[in-house]
Amino acid sequence: MAKQITKSYKTKKRIKNVIVHAFLAVLAAVWLLPIFWVILTSFRADPGSYVDTFFPKSYTLDNYVKLFTDTNILNFPKMFLNTLVIAIFSCIISCFFVLSVAYCMSRLRFKLRKPFMNIAMILGLFPGFMSMIAVYYILKTLGLSEGGMIRVALVLVYSAGSGMGFYIAKGFFDTIPKAIDEAAYIDGATKWQVFTKLTIPLSKPIIVYTVLTSFLAPWLDFIFAKVICRANSDYYTVAIGLWNMLSKEYIDVWYTRFAAGAVCVSIPIAILFVYLQRYYAEGMSGAVKG
């Protein structure tokens, strides 16, 4: 009797596993199909946005070659460089702000600590683009909306308010024993020395997570970049460039190059995610525990 029950249980468990794996396989196919289609389109030799087959009839590398060489109308290499410069500087400044604010909220105790955390949480409920018109006019008043200052304006927009997103980093810092800090204070270390020489080396997962998210925000943003850059094509980011490739006057020629550009933009992000995935998971789990 016990053997029959055990066999029945194993059968049910096996059927359940098959159903779950089949469902996950379908979801994976749904998620991967658009990516697969974009990659195929980037190698398609036929121009235009409308074709009658899913798989290209002929393949070519000209879309990638022309994407980086045909710069008379849409200068993709310059857009890529603009985005890379903006993303790197925004990432550095944002990481400093986020980690500093998170450490202060985790380790220091002061009168307005809880009100500040509550205000930060409430403000985080509102999307940033709600303030983009006000931000633009502030930048215009300061003379940051024209010429080369547009890059500075974008760096300021992406990094200035980053310190408000300190909650995840704070949760990780809370998991580090305070006894380590107290021992360092007894030895004569300052708060800055404890932060830089003890807390930061012990916080590699959350630092990697912060770097990743701080880099992706300017790399993928379209709304703020479009509002601030306007018609200054010399300072366009890749998001604006890819969007322009799908406009009515360019779509017939640039559609397959758009697919090639989408692949080029996604490759660095994919490599970064794959390489830093384990640190990303560790940082999130640490934040949840905190």
Query: What CATH class has 65-289?
Result: mainly alpha
Measured CA to CA, the distance from residue 158 to residue 170 in angstroms comes to: 20
Which residues face 59 on adjacent strands? Answer: 44
CB 90 within 8 A of CB 159: yes
CA 52 to chain CA centroid, Å, is 35
Tokens of 59: 């393949």
Q: Which residue has the higher pLDDT, 274 or 151?
A: 151
**pLDDT at 3 > cutoff 80:** no
pLDDT-derived band of residue 2, with 50, 70 and 90 as boundaries? low
Coarse DSSP helix, strand, coil percentages of the chain, rounded to the nearest 5 percent: 75, 0, 20
Phi, psi of 44 (to 5 degrees): -75, 135
Residue 188, CB half-sphere, CA atoms under 13 Å: how many? 0
Q: pLDDT tens for residues 17-34?
A: 888 889 999 998 888 888
Task: Count other C-beta atoms under 10 Å from residue 60's C-beta.
Answer: 15
What is the distance between the alpha carbons of residues 31 and 28, in angstroms, rounded to a whole number? 5
pLDDT of residue 287: 44
What's the rounded Cα separation, in Å, for the pair 251 and 248? 6
Q: Give the CA count within 13 Å in the CB-facing half-sphere of 43.
A: 10
Entry pTM: 0.80
Which pLDDT tens digit goes with each residue over 62-76?
889 888 888 777 888
- Looking at residue 191, its amino acid is K
Other CB atoms within a 10 A radius of the CB of residue 70 amount to: 15
Question: Which of 126, 87, 82, 123 lies closest to 214, judged by CA?
Answer: 87
Q: Which of 25-29, 79-83, 286-290 has the lowest mean pLDDT?
A: 286-290
